[in-house]
Amino acid sequence: MTEPSPWSRDVIPHRRLCLAADMEQYSRLDTRTQSAVQTGLVRLLDEAATLAGLDRTAWVRQPQGDQEFSVLPEATPEATVLGPFVHHLTVRLGMLNARPAAPRVRLRLAIDTGVVADAALGHAGPAPVAVARYVNAPQLKAVLAALTSADLAVIVSDRLYQDVVRLGHPDLEPAQYIRAHVRVKEFGGYGWIRVPGHGPDDVRPSVEGAHGPLPSPDGPAPSRTMLSQHIHQGVAVGRDVSGGLNVGLPVIPSSVGPWRPW
């Protein structure tokens, strides 16, 4: 009996929290040091998750050299990831970088929630694609480059900011986040950046300097050709995306209310 082709199986999407952690200036390291900092990154994420009460063994992890992309299990408390996990990751990074003669590890961290499905080369869906774009946002890179004393810069999607950060959880302070209009490849959307240990006045100049001030939601109407975040079975492969992407297709803005990038 002939087995059915794997391409004919139904793709079952789920809503998941997605996270990407990327090391700064990894390519400048020699091979031996790259191996050491990869091991260190995994240990840092393991320790931060354990201290925050998260089970890292349940994360679906996709290593990518200087980056780890993870899909977290259902019912993971989003506020725990944005609050205690980020806090413990910051502390552990500081302890690691305080060791004499150790290579300094600096991270960009991106977090989003949305539709995810298993795929042949990793994961498909809007959330994996968005996280890959957020972690490479020019504003996030600019912030980490400018704040040389910082070990970690974090960006969360507008969805997470509106649904979780703004609710006023004890570990989250909405005023510490600076909004950024992220445009990377076909992707366009808003994210919110914060740098643990630095206030918004430290972060804002780099965010605005990378791509200029954000357009006002009440300002002039945007052009009729805009970037859409709609994705049809896109597959995250390493740092790029292949598959049926239609991100960036022209969309016609609604005539009622301000334009929003989703």
Domains observed in the chain: 14-212 (3.30.70.1230)
pLDDT computed for residue 125 by the predictor: 62
Residue 98 burial (10 A CB sphere; 0-12, 13-18, 19+): exposed
Q: What is the pLDDT of residues 154-170, one digit of tens each?
A: 999 999 999 999 987 88
* Per-residue pLDDT at 228: 34
pLDDT of residue 202: 96
Q: Are strands 152-157 and 122-124 parallel, antiparallel or unpaired?
A: unpaired
Note the pLDDT of residue 77.
Answer: 94
Q: Provide the pLDDT for residue 166.
A: 93
Residue 231 pLDDT: 35
Q: Which residue has the tokens 């996280």?
A: 131
Cα 71 versus chain centre, distance: 11
The percent of residues above 90 in pLDDT, for the chain, comes to 44
Per-residue pLDDT of the chain (262 residues; tens, 9 = 90+): 455 444 345 656 678 899 999 988 777 777 888 888 888 889 999 999 999 999 999 998 887 777 899 999 988 999 999 999 999 999 999 998 898 877 888 999 999 998 776 665 556 567 778 888 899 999 999 999 999 999 999 999 999 999 999 987 888 999 999 999 998 877 788 999 999 999 999 999 999 987 644 444 444 443 333 333 333 333 333 333 333 333 333 333 333 333 333 3
Helix crossing, 138-146 with 200-211: angle to 10°? Answer: 130
Residue 228, C-beta contacts closer than 8 angstroms, at least 6 positions apart: 188, 246, 247, 248, 249, 251, 262
Over its C-alpha atoms, the chain yields an Rg (Å, rounded) of 19
Residue whose C-alpha is closest to residue 207's, from 195, 196, 197, 193: 193
Sign of torsion over alpha carbons 236, 130, 214, 256: positive
State the pLDDT at residue 118: 67
Q: Which pLDDT value is given to residue 10?
A: 60
- Average pLDDT in the chain: 77
Q: Residue 138 has what pLDDT?
A: 93
pLDDT at 130: 86
